[in-house]
Amino acid sequence: MKKYLLLTGVAFTSMLSIAQPTLTPANTNMVPGEINGTTSYNWVAQGNPGAGQVWNFGAITLNTATFNTTYTVTTPSASVTTIYPNANVMLNGPYGGYVYKTSSTSLQLYGIYDGMGSTYSLINQNPMDMIRYPFTFNNTFTDTYSGTQGPAGTQQFSKGTATVTADGYGTLTVPGGTFSNVLRVYVHTVAKDSSSPSNQINIIKDEYWWFLPNNHYPILQNITTNYGGSITKDLVLLNTITVGISETPSVIRSFNIYPNPSNGEMLNLDLNLTESSKYEIVVIDNLGKEVLRTGSDDVFTGYNLKTLDVSGLESGVYNLGIILKDGKTLNRKFIIQK
């Protein structure tokens, strides 16, 4: 089984132009119930480190030798917590998964398991710190990890050292759009793995993760692995990336916008509220820039129909947010095709 380090998530809260992002427990730790799909692309080089970078992966092509993969975040079962007593989150895919501990100070990898044989192929009694919070540009740390399983004489082990550095931030373009306020995290790992004491494999891995805060999964991963002299290269893109305004439970029972795609004239908003409220409408483009905001208006308990003139907007992908009087928001993505 290939051992990739994968995370998960949805939703972006920043309404600013390019800034220096910071990863925190609230905007990075994965949450049970999240479901994320990824797609493999043909590998290309990772680009440059530094402040204010522009990383353009807009022309990458699909890797036809692989397929889409869906990962689901769950809480560990009783059988898993017996093996990993400190773990509180699992990331499950079709061929295996990953066991983590999320906390206010770090995201830690405790284990990797092979879903085909239900075999826990790596157990870290000393876990690997993947992120230490808060984490921002030029922050770096080095962490060692180790683990064993099995009886003496046939015991398997994994041990290594990972250096994690936030080596750049800026704007990232992928086939799904362009996203600002992205932080790139570079992880260099030197490790040794074994299926038995006599079968030891040296591993060197270079990984680049592009994080959009409040997506709990890197929106792009660039991975090069030297596994005992066999080199593999992977480029993995998150399929569902949301930019714009945070989505928070509120008095809105339901919220829909139509037509979507829009021809760039009028947009209809269906709002169903549990109580009356003041509200504003904000529209954010795919660079995180506010392009439209309405004045304060009233909505009432029950069904409300509102219309919004979007004729001044160009063709593209946008997020529309409803901001209520208590500051809570709900957003929806829409497309303009003129």
| Residue-wise pLDDT tens digits, 32-86 | 877 778 889 999 999 999 999 999 999 999 988 776 788 888 888 887 788 788 8
SS3 assignment, position 257: strand
**In the chain, how many domains are there?**
2
Of 91, 45, 95, nearest to 67 (Cα)? 95
Residue 148 lies in a domain: yes
Top-ranked range on mean pLDDT: pick from 72-81, 174-183, 220-229, 253-262: 220-229
Residue 6 lies in a domain: no
Same structural domain for residues 291 and 313? yes
- Cα 313 from chain centroid (whole Å): 28
Q: How far apart are CA 219 and CA 221, in angstroms?
A: 7
> Which structural domain range is residue 298 located in?
252-336
Same structural domain for residues 184 and 42? yes
Distances (CA, A) of 46 to 49, 184, 211: 9, 10, 14
Using an 8 Å Cβ cutoff, are 168 and 140 in contact?
no
Same structural domain for residues 257 and 161? no
- Beta-carbon neighbour count of residue 265 at 10 Å? 12
Would the pLDDT of 244 be above 70?
Answer: no
Instruction: Give the model's confidence band at 178: pLDDT under 50 very low, under 70 low, under 90 confident, else very high.
Output: confident
Would the pLDDT of 91 be above 60?
Answer: yes
Same structural domain for residues 231 and 294? no
Unique residue bearing structure tokens 């439970």: 249
Residue 284 lies in a domain: yes
| Contacts for 59 with CB less than 8 Å, ≥ 6 apart | none
Q: What is the pLDDT of residue 50?
A: 97
Query: What percentage of the chain's residues is helix, strand, coil (to nearest 5)?
Result: 5, 60, 40
Same structural domain for residues 49 and 134? yes
Instruction: Give the model's confidence band at 121: pLDDT under 50 very low, under 70 low, under 90 confident, else very high.
Output: low
Q: What is the pLDDT of residue 150?
A: 65
Q: How far apart are CA 264 and CA 335, in angstroms?
A: 9
Over the chain, what is the mean pLDDT? 81
Residue 125 lies in a domain: yes
List phi, psi (to 5°) of 3: -105, 90
Same structural domain for residues 233 and 260? no
Using an 8 Å Cβ cutoff, are 323 and 251 in contact?
no
Would the pLDDT of 255 be above 60?
Answer: yes
Q: How far apart are CA 79 and CA 62, in angstroms?
A: 38
CATH number reported for the structural domain that contains residue 286 in this entry: 2.60.40.2550
Same structural domain for residues 118 and 198? yes
Pairing outcome for strands 140-149 and 135-136: unpaired
Same structural domain for residues 115 and 224? yes
Same structural domain for residues 272 and 175? no
Q: Which residues face 89 on adjacent strands? A: 100
Of 217, 225, 84, nearest to 147 (Cα)? 84
Which DSSP state fits 310? Answer: -
Same structural domain for residues 215 and 296? no
Q: Which residues face 7 on adjacent strands? A: none
Tally of CA atoms within 13 A in the half-sphere of 92 that contains its CB: 17
Overall size of the chain counted in residues: 338
Buried b (16+ CB within 10 A) or exposed e, 160-179: bebebbbbbbbbbbbebbbb
